[in-house]
Structure 1
């Protein structure tokens, strides 16, 4: 059962400072006719599930932009698959568990991720976590690894377009502390330097994990 979008939107808003606009849309069967012409090449030949995610994500993004008093406009996809935002806008989109999230603001990069709050299988823990993170795992390690994964995804998305880089989970060492986390870079990656710490927030609501980063 899909979580209540309004409840998830309230939880999402709690992750970010003032000036960040958020929106949540259910992922439903959709037609490409709901997209702008500049967006359609991104989903040419896409299966129905991917099309539904894309439409919901762009719909959420336009609704979030309207909360910044921005007029609706096309949000095409860059070569690295990230959205191309309007001039002066930073944003992030995420999909999971039947919902699409969008966060936007005027200013520095922001990132968001959503995951279902289920445990990750033990064979994947060393893939997603470094030795220090594995050593810190508590009594419910599979669920904790999912939250570390969610935090890392949010940090990955919080990159400026001109300096965006691909990097794996081993690049970050995340420490969870209640509804907050610190993500420390182990090596240089894009505009981030080794040793730099990015701070974010994380919340569990309605069977979902939400993580947000505002650089």
Structure 2
């Protein structure tokens, strides 16, 4: 079972000083802990989705506390991202077992986590261009999963006032040891064609963690 303290330690290493992090195990989180505005976001959801959502909001409120911000609702925006209190930027992600959250005062940031397991070959073209696949050196099935995780973190690292929907083909990711570069192939939202974001990757206790901070 993935260790919560190990994941939190890895998250801290992904981000610069001033970023608060938290991880919560999904099982056992009571949806009754959600605030009224948050309940609206998951009205009619299946129990599994409710548990994921509740764990993510619990992690986010731990981040708020670490940032010395009072507890607050984090409702869902039009693109399903959490709406953080004014002056704060944050990001939430989950896999089957854990929910994680990161946040800070200041510029946008994004986080994602995925299981460190092979991805079926028929899915590779959905997440990677031929050039990206050609650059992968090693266990391609696992490295594609890392590229996917990196792109998800980049997508989440958008400012609230300029968020845009874009596909995996909008960003070209190059993996390096413990890090990655993500170059935009087109202008979308707050990003411009040719812009490069640098992120960090960690493999810990069977999961991949990716983090991006402007």
- Tell me the TM-score normalised to structure 1 length: 0.98
Shift of 1:124: 1.0
| Aligned equivalent of 1:78 | 77
| Aligned equivalent of 1:151 | 150
| Aligned equivalent of 1:66 | 65
| Aligned equivalent of 2:126 | 127
| Aligned equivalent of 2:141 | 142
| Aligned equivalent of 1:27 | 26
Q: Give yes or no for contact 1:29–1:48 (8 Å, CA) kept in 2.
A: no
Matches of 2:13 and 2:5 in 1, distance apart? Answer: 13
Matches of 1:77 and 1:89 in 2, distance apart? Answer: 15
| Aligned equivalent of 1:171 | 170
What secondary structure is seen at the aligned counterpart in 1 of 2:161? helix
| Aligned equivalent of 2:104 | 105
- Cα displacement string for residues 7-56 of structure 1 (whole angstroms, at most 9, x for unaligned residues): 11101111000000000000014433101111110111110100000000
Shift of 1:132: 1.2
| Aligned equivalent of 2:4 | 5
- Cα-Cα RMSD: 0.8
Unaligned residue ranges in structure 2 (runs of 5+)? none
Q: Give yes or no for contact 1:26–1:99 (8 Å, CA) kept in 2.
A: yes
| Aligned equivalent of 2:45 | 46
Matches of 1:69 and 1:31 in 2, distance apart? Answer: 24
Matches of 1:139 and 1:196 in 2, distance apart? Answer: 27
- Cα displacement string for residues 83-123 of structure 1 (whole angstroms, at most 9, x for unaligned residues): 11000000000000300000000001000000000111111
Matches of 2:132 and 2:39 in 1, distance apart? Answer: 41
Unaligned residue ranges in structure 1 (runs of 5+)? none
Q: Give yes or no for contact 1:21–1:105 (8 Å, CA) kept in 2.
A: yes
Please identify runs of 4+ aligned residues in structure 1 that moved more than 4 A.
none
- Cα displacement string for residues 47-88 of structure 1 (whole angstroms, at most 9, x for unaligned residues): 010000000000000001100101101111111111110000
Aligned residues: 214
